[in-house]
Amino acid sequence: MNSVYLKKEDCCGCSACYNVCAKQAITMKPDEEGFLYPEIDQGNCVDCGKCTDICPLTSKGNYKETGIPRFYVARHKAEEVLRQSTSGGAFTAISNLILRQNGVIYGADYDEDFHVLHQRAETAGQRDRMRISKYVQSDMRDIFTQIKADLQEGRKVLFTGTPCQAAGLRGFMAKSRLTDRLYICDLICHSIPSPLIWEEYKRLLERENGGKLVNVQFRSKKHGWSRANSNKGFLFSTERNPDILQEDDRFYHLFFTVGAITRPSCSQCRFTDIHRASDLTIADYWGIEKYSPDWFDPLGVSVILVNSPKGADLFDQCRQELLAEERPKEESLNEQRRLSESSQFPKNRSLFWEDYRHFGFEYVIRKTE
C-alpha cells in the first residue's frame, strides 16, 4: 500500500492507522506545516488494508452515533474546580467518577517543554493537568494501544479528545468486547492549530522575555468566562521573568482571525453535527445568559451532550458533583457553529505558508496584524 490517505483533507492525524499496524510499517511524521501524517514503510507493509479500513474520515458513518443526543447545561458545585477549569468543570466531575472506580483517564497534556501530547492519568493530580484547553494538535503516539492494554487488565478508561480522535479510537477498538469498559468524551472543536506554529510562538516569547518558558495557560479566566473573552487571557512566565504575564493575543489572532494555521482536514470536518463518535460531548455553554440568565456564571458553564446509553449512565452517576438541567438542543445549535459547519479556510492560506517559509514567523505575525 502506497499511502493511508489520498489527500491531506482525508487525514486528521488521529494515529489509529499507526496503532493498528501489526507490522509497524507506519510512522507518524510532520509535514511542512508541522501536522503529523502516516508514512508507510513499503518494505514492512503486507497490504492487509487495516489502516485504511478503520480510518475515521473515510469509514462509512465515521463511527458516529445515529440517535439524537440530549443537551444539558451543567456547572460544577465546587468553586475551586470552576476556577481551575476552562468552562464549567464537567470534565472534572466525569473523570472523578472513573478515578473512584480505579479507572484511568487519557487526555491532552504538556510535557516539560510544553509540547502538547496525550497522556495517561491515574490520580486527580495527573488528571488536573488535562482540565485546561490546549489550542494545539496533540501527539497521540501509541495512546490507543495503551488504552487497549488498560482495558485488557479490566480497568475502566475515560478518553477525552477532539471528535476525530474519538472516532479514531472507536475505529481502532472496532467491535471488541473491551469497549464495555471504555468511555469516550469528545469536545466541540473549533479546529486544530499547527504544532509548528506553536513551537515558533513559544520561541518568540522566550526571546522577548528571556529564558525558557516555565508556565503557559490558554484561556485563563482572568477576565471572566464569556464568549467575548474566549480568545483572550493567554498567560505565561519564563525563567528570567517569573511573574505571570499576559500575551497580546498574537497566537489567538492567527488561529481565530487569520485562520491559516489549522489542519487541512478541518476545512472538511466530518464531525460538525450533533451526531458524535462519543458517549458524551462537552463544551462551553455559549449564550446561556440569553436563554436562562440564572445559569450564567463568570467562572464558567458547560454544555453536555449525552450521545449514547453508556454516556447517559455515566452522566447520571456523576451528577452528584454537578448542577445540571436539560435544555433545548436549539440553544446550542444557535451558538455552537461547529455543530453545523466546518471551519472555513481563508482564501490566502497558501500565501500565509509561503510567506512563513520564505520570511519566517515574525514576518507573518507582523503582516497579519
Predicted local confidence at residue 273, as pLDDT: 97
Q: Looking at the structure, do residues 364 and 335 belong to the same domain, yes or no?
A: no
List the domain range (segments joined by +) for residue 118: 63-189+263-339
Nearest to 4 by CA among 14, 336, 269: 14
Q: Within a domain: residue 2?
A: no
Q: Looking at the structure, do residues 304 and 316 belong to the same domain, yes or no?
A: yes
Predicted local confidence at residue 244, as pLDDT: 92
The answer to whether 160 and 143 have CB atoms below 8 angstroms apart is no
Predicted local confidence at residue 232, as pLDDT: 80
Predicted local confidence at residue 79, as pLDDT: 97
Q: Looking at the structure, do residues 80 and 92 belong to the same domain, yes or no?
A: yes
Predicted local confidence at residue 248, as pLDDT: 72
Q: Within a domain: residue 350?
A: no
Q: Looking at the structure, do residues 98 and 46 belong to the same domain, yes or no?
A: no
Measured CA to CA, the distance from residue 369 to residue 367 in angstroms comes to: 6
Q: Is 333 left (phi over 0), alpha (psi -120 to 50) or beta?
A: alpha
Predicted local confidence at residue 81, as pLDDT: 97
Q: Within a domain: residue 351?
A: no
Q: Looking at the structure, do residues 143 and 249 belong to the same domain, yes or no?
A: no
The answer to whether 259 and 313 have CB atoms below 8 angstroms apart is no
Alpha helix ranges (H) inside the chain:
16-20, 50-53, 79-83, 90-100, 124-128, 143-152, 163-173, 195-209, 250-252, 288-291, 309-318, 329-335, 349-359, 361-368
Domain termination residue (choose one: 39, 61, 83): 61
Q: Within a domain: residue 345?
A: no
Q: Looking at the structure, do residues 83 and 176 belong to the same domain, yes or no?
A: yes
Q: Within a domain: residue 3?
A: no
Predicted local confidence at residue 275, as pLDDT: 98
The answer to whether 17 and 51 have CB atoms below 8 angstroms apart is yes
DSSP character at residue 139: B
Structural element, H or E, at residue 37: strand 36-40
Q: What is the CATH number of the domain that holds 22?
A: 3.30.70.20
Q: Within a domain: residue 355?
A: no
Please report the sign of the dihedral spanned by the C-alpha atoms of residue 264, residue 167, residue 116, residue 131: positive
Torsion from C-alpha of 234, 238, 244, 249, nearest 10 degrees: -20
Q: Vertex 276, ends 317 and 294: CA angle to 5°?
A: 55
Q: Looking at the structure, do residues 151 and 277 belong to the same domain, yes or no?
A: yes
Q: Looking at the structure, do residues 75 and 169 belong to the same domain, yes or no?
A: yes
Q: Looking at the structure, do residues 34 and 88 belong to the same domain, yes or no?
A: no
Q: Within a domain: residue 353?
A: no
Q: Looking at the structure, do residues 183 and 209 belong to the same domain, yes or no?
A: no
Q: Looking at the structure, do residues 237 and 292 belong to the same domain, yes or no?
A: no
Predicted local confidence at residue 229, as pLDDT: 86
Q: Could you state, in chain order, the average pLDDT of each consecutive group of 10 residues for the chain (369 residues)?
A: 93 98 97 98 96 96 97 98 96 98 98 97 98 95 98 98 98 96 97 96 95 94 89 89 87 92 96 98 98 98 98 97 98 97 92 97 93
Q: Vertex 196, ends 192 and 202: CA angle to 5°?
A: 105
Measured CA to CA, the distance from residue 83 to residue 211 in angstroms comes to: 28
Q: Is 279 left (phi over 0), alpha (psi -120 to 50) or beta?
A: alpha
Q: Within a domain: residue 180?
A: yes
Q: Looking at the structure, do residues 133 and 149 belong to the same domain, yes or no?
A: yes
> Cell numbers 474546580 correspond to what residue?
81
Domains: count for the chain: 3
